[in-house]
Amino acid sequence: MKRRAAVLLALALAAACRSGRPPAGAVESPMAALTSTTKEDAMRELLARRAAFAGARSYMRVRATSGEKSQSFRAQLQVDANGRMLLTAYTPVNTSAMRLYADGDRVTLYNDLERTKQEGSAAELAKSVGFFAPSLTPAELALLIVGIPPSASAAQFDVTPAGLARAATGDVVITYDPPRFPPAHVVVERPGQKLEIEHLELVASDAKVAP
């Protein structure tokens, strides 16, 4: 199962679309940089943005490394204020090839090409397909990928006046290069695995992630 899932992700994600897809009817706007002058003020400002968070969407380039194998692909990430997230990969003709949907701790992986799906908790799917942080829901990890701490206690944070520099929870470490908000390059690492993410288009979005 693990090998099959890896092949599925390689085929589906390597053939990602050429441009992001704003959800129909969504109100979107660029994310503003922080105005803080100290790291303490920056953390307070980030937590205030979390409290007011309505959602975000990112079209991104990803390089995933597991052991000695690496894959590069493009993907779109959506996360909303209700604890839901959706990672979508597209075919070259912009139809959906794969969707990874999470609501709280429940995860569903849809293979739209073969019309199959897998369901389970984040921990269960992590055994075959996932890159999940044990102490975070998938949506909370998505928040960190877009540069917003889920809460002050969600991880150990290194902060600069411009934004997050590093977050660590369990065996997962997330670094931001440069350390600023909104982030440009994010690296998510755990033993034997690495995701290198380049945000190509990162916006605030009020779109709800639908089941």
Residue 151 lies in a domain: yes
Residue 13 lies in a domain: yes
Domain assignment of residue 31, given as a range: 2-205
Residue 139 lies in a domain: yes
Q: Which amino acid is at 158?
A: D
How does DSSP classify residue 155?
Answer: S
Token readout for 31 is 């994310």
Residue 210 lies in a domain: no
CATH at 16: 2.50.20.10
Q: What is the pLDDT of residue 22?
A: 66
* Full-model pTM: 0.84
Give percent above pLDDT 70 in the chain. Answer: 85
Tens of pLDDT, residue by residue over 120-149, are 888 777 665 556 777 889 999 999 999 999
User: What phi and psi, each to the nearest 5 degrees, are found at residue 152?
Assistant: -65, -25
- In DSSP terms, which residues pair with 30 in a beta bridge? 203
Residue 211 lies in a domain: no
**How many structural domains does the chain have?**
1
Residue 136 lies in a domain: yes
Tell me which residue of 107, 81, 109, 79 sits closest to 97, measured CA to CA: 109
